[in-house]
Amino acid sequence: MPTFVLQTHVVSSSPRRIAQGATAALRATSDATLDLTLGRERLESAASGAHVASTLRDLCAAVTSVVEGAHYGWPYAYWGAHEDPRRRGERPDIVARARVPDVSLGAHTAPISVVFPRRGALNVPSGDAVVSLHGSWNRARHAGYKVVRVRFRDGVAQGAPEDFLTGWLRPDGAAWGRPAGMCELADGSLLVVDDWDQSIWRVSR
C-alpha cells in the first residue's frame, strides 16, 4: 500500500500531500520535516546472496529530511534507486528517482521516537536530535536497544549517529529493555519509556 506524508491545516483539516513512500514524519523545525524509516524486512529471501551482501547497508533504518514532491521508494525501491526484487519491473520511474536517506541508523534498529532538546541541559547542541532505537527482534546479534544523538546542519541530518544512552544490552548480548517514546521536560531532562521493562527513565546531567 502506498504511503504518504500529508500536511494538514489545524483549522481546515484539509490534507495536502508533500511526499510519498515515507513513514513516520514529523515537524523538526519551522521549515524542516523529518522522517524516521524502519527500512525493509525479508529481502534475503527475495534476492540473491550476492545482491544482499553488496547492499547490506541499504536495508538499514534511517533518518532523513522530507522534501516536498520527493518519493522515498516504498514499496518499489529502498535506499535510493535499489529496486525491491519483490516488485521488479513494476515502477522503474519511481525507482530511478527514489531519494537516498540522509543518515543510516543501522539494520533492524527500529527508530521510533525523536526529540530535539531545546533547553540545553543534556549537552546536546541546539538543532541536534536524540533518537530512540527500539531494537531488533529477528537478529541473532541484537542491534539498537539504545538512544543515539544525530547531528543536524541547516535542518538536515548528517554524519554517523553517536551513542547517547546505552545499557539495555548485557555484555553477553542479551537485552533487558527497549527504549521507546521520549519527551523533554521543562527542566531540560529527558524522559525515556522502556516498554519492555514497563519503566520510565529520567536522564539529566
The pLDDT of residue 58: 42
Contact criterion met (CB below 8 Å) for 137 and 109: no
Indicate the range of 51-60, 99-108, 135-144, 173-182 predicted with least confidence.
51-60
Domain locations in the chain as residue ranges: 1-107, 108-205
Confidence band (pLDDT; 50, 70, 90) for 26? low
Neighbour count for residue 24 (Cβ, 10 Å): 15
Q: Does position 131 have pLDDT exceeding 80, yes or no?
A: yes
Q: Does position 14 have pLDDT exceeding 60, yes or no?
A: no
Q: Does position 18 have pLDDT exceeding 50, yes or no?
A: yes
pTM of the model: 0.82
Confidence band (pLDDT; 50, 70, 90) for 147? very high
For 15, the grid coordinates are 490534507
Q: Does position 65 have pLDDT exceeding 70, yes or no?
A: yes
Contacts for 95 with CB less than 8 Å, ≥ 6 apart? 73, 76, 77, 81, 82, 83
How many residues does this entry show for the chain?
A: 205
Give the residue, 18 or 130, on which the prediction is more confident: 130
